[in-house]
Amino acid sequence: MVSVSGLIHSVESTFANVHDLTPAAELLHGEEIVVCADAGYQGIEKRPEMEGRGIGFRTAMRPGMRRALPDTPEGRVDDLIETAKAHFRAKVEHPFRVIKRQFGFQKTRLRGMLKNRCKVNVLAGLYNLVMARHELLCKT
């Protein structure tokens, strides 16, 4: 997950048959006030491990529901809210672009979970180094 700084603060890799919601609680560091998530995380606030954390969840609307919004003032406001949520979530997609394009990690080969997890952790660390280097060079 990406913090306010734009750096990756935690990485979790799971098998393909594990839903995204399952490791979600482990990805949060505990200081979050608001969590923005895509439509795959709907219902995260109802999970038992999320109760009592005091986190506000801004989960996106499913694409079909968004397309079905009425052409009324209320529907346009709902669409603007969904657009604002998308702008916040877009920051999370930048590390994936860098890892896929700059580091060439576009496909995961069947090498075993341990080897794939190790490679993902190394790539996340490399991303942080590249982004931190960029920030340090811009300040001098």
Domain coordinates in residue numbering, the chain: 24-139
Per-residue CA distances from 19 to 22, 42, 44, 83, 112 (Å): 6, 12, 12, 25, 19
Report the pLDDT value the prediction gives residue 107, as an integer from 0 to 100.
Answer: 80
3-state helix, strand, coil split of the chain in percent (to 5) is 55, 5, 40
Structure confidence at residue 86 (pLDDT): 86
How many residues belong to the chain?
Answer: 140
Determine the Cα–Cα distance for residues 3 and 95; give it in Å rounded to an integer. 11
pLDDT at residue 134 tops 80? no
Distance CA 52, CA 48 (A): 9
pLDDT reported for residue 57: 86
SS3 80: helix
